[in-house]
Amino acid sequence: MRLLNKAAIALTALVTAVPILSACGNGNDENVLRLGYFANVTHAPALVAIELGLIEETLGDDVTVEPVLFNAGPTVIEALFSGAIDAAYVGPNPAINGWAQSGGEALHVISGSTSGGAALVTRDGIDAPADLAGTAIASPQLANTQDVALRYWLAEQGFDTDYYGGGDVAVTPTPNSELAAAYATGAVDGAWAVEPHLSELIIEHDANVLLDERELWEEGEFVTTHIIAASDFLAQRPEQVEALLQAHLQALDLIEDEPDQARAAANDHIESLTGNRLGEDIIAAAFDNLTFTADPIAASLYGSAEHATAVGLLDEVDLGGIYRLEHLNAVLSDHGREPISGDRV
């Protein structure tokens, strides 16, 4: 375990407290591809591919896709470690932590999926970084992607934080499902929020954008979601890996070419999973604020790891070898497209 002790204790509690929301299949069944994902717009390519049956089509009749729903990155990694899933859409920091915990043996990043869609929003009266002193700012979960970004940025502004809501700014882990209520009641003064919760706070609660995270990254690009796969899955079932990536590229193309259809499919799937449908204004704003791409934006993954180390949530880790993009590039080549690199530059 490479997470530092305080963070490790908190993360262990989160892993045991947040259940997997749908049952996993038999980890030894090579005729089932078990795919983890979230009911979240940042996972839109997965939502579209599953809702429209794209993965079933590319897998063929002999293999069944079994979607496995999660609500937290650490549980994705635990499920992958245990053999309960083969691949998953997940944020960068859980993937980094999983790579570190397994000594680079358990998983690899096999494709990009989503970039952008995160910002620091605040209530009226917080108009500059200096105004954050003494406030409470929400992040989705300790050591998740937005939490690391928030803590690192606050440190750059000269603020001290800790893992327990103390310091100059109280970083307050708040599940996305509870964020709007926490903001509306004044329990928090703002949030480093990710779509669609970001658009919900802006549209329905008049939150102000203090900082768009795109401003912090070269060319405004940073990974929000990518696809990881278990090392055994990559080694033993490469045809299924490429079938999954074929469906993923089809979903990306649909989002780009037919955005109305893609948004409707994503919203249909969210409603089928949660019983709730996003407002059309919110899902439209969220899609507009996100970039869906097969490029994993490797430079930002390395940057996120460095940020997590700087704020004490990760020991230094060598990410060399975390990317395995040969299957993605094979599918891209079949479609006459240029290969994608996992190099940092």
Same domain, 90 and 226: yes
pLDDT of residue 7: 39
Task: For 27-51, write each residue's pLDDT tens digit.
Answer: 568 999 999 999 999 999 999 999 9
pLDDT of residue 5: 34
Q: In what order do the strands lie in the sheet with 208-212?
A: 170-173, 136-139, 190-194, 118-122, 208-212
Same domain, 76 and 189: no
Same domain, 155 and 196: yes
Q: At what angle do helices 145-156 and 92-101 cross, to 10 degrees?
A: 100
| pTM for the structure as a whole | 0.91
Q: CB 188: neighbour CB atoms within 10 A?
A: 23
Average pLDDT over residues 68-96: 96
pLDDT bin (cut points 50, 70, 90) of residue 14 is very low
Q: Determine contact, residues 296/224, Cβ cutoff 8 Å.
A: no
User: How many domains does the structure of the chain reveal?
Assistant: 2
pLDDT of residue 345: 66
Residue 183 predicted with pLDDT over 90:
yes
Residue 150 included in any domain: yes
Query: What is the domain range of residue 159?
Result: 118-219
Distances (CA, A) of 164 to 2, 161, 170: 20, 8, 8
pLDDT bin (cut points 50, 70, 90) of residue 25 is very low
User: Measuring CA to CA, which residue among 92, 141, 85 is closest to residue 116?
Assistant: 92
CATH code assigned at 27? 3.40.190.10
Same domain, 158 and 170: yes
